[in-house]
Amino acid sequence: MSPSITSKLPSISPTIFTVMSSLAVEHKAINLGQGFPDYPMNEELISLVNQHMKAGHNQYVHMNGLPALRNVIVEKIFSLYQQPINPDSEITVTPGGTYAIYTALTAVLQPGDEVIIFEPAYDSYIPNVEINGAVPVLIPLIYPDYKIDWDMVRKKISPKTKMIMLNSPHNPTGSVLEKEDIKQLQNIVAGTGIFILSDEVYEHLIFDNMQHESMLRYPDLLERSFICFSFGKVYHCTGWKLGYCVAPAALTSEFRKVHQFNCFTCNSPMQFALADFLPNKESYLMLGNFLQKKRDYFLELMKQTKFIPLPSHGSYFQLYSYEGMSDESEKDLAIRLTKDFGVATIPTSAFYKNGKEDKVLRFCFVKKESTLEEAVNRLLKYNPS
């Protein structure tokens, strides 16, 4: 008898990002699906990695992350949010934000625990909860601006609620948490044992003069939070897969127990390079303006089509409704646009456990202007009957 696996994730297949990116390659489509820039990253940062490799910084660094990098992260957090963070006990460098989220959930969750997740949700959240034997409690964000229904959150809280997962700026919708949301959250968690997982990988990718409402601004929320970040998003290098998790010492200590036997430590030359580069504040403070211009350029081009934009105040993404244009499912239309018109997008139904259909596609606009122009020229040929 040959061995067979009883799947821990029986209903999961390859992610929509993999599916649509493969289809884009196969059909030579412009990929506005998976979120990654197609323009070059900073040359100086590349040179720094190279210099550090040549200087022999190629061996394991400290399990919690290169101390020099943790020190500059702490300085950055203090200058942005006036929050003192201990670099030894409250930060762990991780191979990306996704890993940080998984590690935090695995550190906290016991079988049967409930985790509140807002849908549409980044695709890793629900499987990450389920693989730990915990139960996702799903709450829909309110269409079309995808705000949180806090009354619904109050109703869904139970004695089993272990965690609330937040993501601002939000993938896939581009919605952002505002002060009023923070007040509601503070009221709901005060005096409870509920943890917060705050996915802040798009921290700097926020537009329209809005302020990023990090958990780092609020000591009463920070004391119960794992906050996850990604350098891939900050420095236009999603393939670097490097990030970090900030959490109070007692939470970080449990996080590191999981981390140390999974990846143990992250690649060293990039940590050395980032330790040199991060003190350059302009390198991240300029991001909001830089990407807002791209969003606006894309919005302007798309006015030539019949797609209807939904509000996006941050992230890499702009949602468009195709209400009135087609009766196809989101996935069918996304596949047809890729195969027949040469533009790949992501169906937002992929961000719902039950595949809810809103007739909305997600477009990634962090591309060169020429890429966006060509993509919209192709979309103009899509002429629904």
Q: Contact residues for ligand PMP (CB under 6 A)?
A: 35, 96-98, 122, 167, 171, 199, 201, 230, 232, 238, 241, 243
- Contact between 318 and ligand GLN per CB under 6 A: no
Provide long-range contacts, Cβ within 8 A and 24+ apart, for 39-47: 39/236, 39/366, 39/367, 39/368, 40/236, 41/235, 41/236, 41/237, 42/235, 42/236, 42/277, 42/283, 44/277, 45/235, 45/237, 45/273, 45/274, 45/277
Nearer to ligand GLN, 197 or 275 (CB): 197
Please give the Cα distance from 241 to 233 (Å, whole number).
9
- Contact between 17 and ligand GLN per CB under 6 A: yes
- Minimum distance of ligand PMP from residue 230's CB (angstroms): 3
- Contact between 171 and ligand GLN per CB under 6 A: yes
- Contact between 150 and ligand GLN per CB under 6 A: no
Binding letters toward ligand GLN, positions 19-48, x by CB under 6 A:
---------------xx-------------
34's contact among ligand GLN, ligand PMP, none, with CB below 5 to 8 A by partner kind, is: ligand GLN
- Contact between 314 and ligand GLN per CB under 6 A: no
From the CB of residue 376, how many other CB atoms can be counted at a distance below 10 Å? 22
Nearer to ligand PMP, 113 or 199 (CB): 199
C-alpha distances (whole Å) from 234 to each of 64, 175, 282 are 20, 18, 11
Please give the Cα distance from 130 to 114 (Å, whole number).
10
- Minimum distance of ligand PMP from residue 311's CB (angstroms): 18
Nearer to ligand GLN, 114 or 199 (CB): 199
68-105: string of b/e by CB count within 10 Å (b at 16+)?
A: bbbbbbbebbeebbebebebeebbbbbbbbbbbbbbbb
- Contact between 214 and ligand GLN per CB under 6 A: no
- Minimum distance of ligand GLN from residue 6's CB (angstroms): 25
- Is residue 152 within 8 Å of 288, Cβ to Cβ? no
Residue type, 298: F
User: Helix (H, G, I), strand (E, B), or coil: what is residue 139?
Assistant: strand
Nearer to ligand PMP, 301 or 364 (CB): 364
- Token look-up 């999974």 returns 262
Nearer to ligand PMP, 122 or 365 (CB): 122
17's contact among ligand PMP, ligand GLN, none, with CB below 5 to 8 A by partner kind, is: ligand GLN
Contact residues for ligand GLN, defined by CB under 6 A: 15, 17, 34-35, 171
